[in-house]
């Protein structure tokens, strides 16, 4: 199996990360994944994190926390509500790796790393 290099980049929004992933796939670099980073252990769930289903929570729209149990994790929910991203004051500079909440990880052959980095940067990512 040929060796590949790992490229880790961060994005300020899921939309930009997905656009970069699509552009990479169009260039033939399909081994990639997007993750939502949080200090509070939340996860992305397309069904639960839609505007309609998560509007009932303060953090559902910003931290993708609609699937957090209301009963068992009350303290965690309070901490999530205190996150700067909930107020909208912190689009970047969060105390997360890369300063952004979305991470795109791409695996590329060594001879295509520069191309992948260029595509990521063209779509608003930081490597």
Supply φ then ψ for residue 80, to 5 degrees.
-60, -40
pLDDT for 50 beyond 80: no
**Topology adopted by domain 1-37+98-127:** Alpha-Beta Plaits (3.30.70)
Each domain of the chain, given as residue ranges in start order, spans 1-37+98-127, 47-95
- The pLDDT value given to residue 2: 75
What are the tens digits of pLDDT across the range 15-35?
899 999 999 999 999 999 998
The CA–CA distances, whole Å, from 44 to 40, 68, 103, 112, 116 equal 12, 11, 12, 29, 25
Supply φ then ψ for residue 25, to 5 degrees.
-65, -40
- The pLDDT value given to residue 18: 93
What are the tens digits of pLDDT across the range 55-87?
455 555 555 555 556 665 666 666 666 666 565
pLDDT-derived band at 48 (thresholds 50, 70, 90) equals: very low
- The pLDDT value given to residue 11: 86
The CA–CA distances, whole Å, from 116 to 19, 37, 70, 121, 124 equal 13, 22, 41, 9, 13
With vertex at residue 30, the alpha carbon angle to CA 25 and CA 31, rounded to the nearest 5 degrees, is: 150
Region 101-111: mean pLDDT is 92
- The pLDDT value given to residue 54: 46
Region 38-66: mean pLDDT is 53
Q: Say whether pTM exceeds 0.75.
A: no
């Amino acid at each position: 199996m040929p060796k590949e290099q790992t490229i880790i980049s961060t994005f300020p929004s899921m939309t930009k990360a997905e656009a970069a992933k699509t552009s990479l796939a169009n260039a033939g670099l399909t081994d990639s994944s997007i993750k939502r980073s949080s200090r509070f252990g939340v996860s992305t769930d397309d069904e639960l994190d839609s505007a309609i289903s998560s509007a009932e929570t303060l953090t559902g729209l910003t931290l993708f926390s609609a699937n957090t149990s209301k009963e068992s994790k009350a303290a965690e929910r309070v901490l999530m509500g205190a996150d700067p991203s909930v107020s909208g004051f912190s689009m970047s500079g969060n105390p997360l790796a890369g300063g952004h909440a979305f991470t795109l990880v791409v695996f590329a052959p060594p001879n295509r790393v520069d191309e992948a980095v260029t595509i990521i940067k063209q779509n608003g990512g930081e490597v």
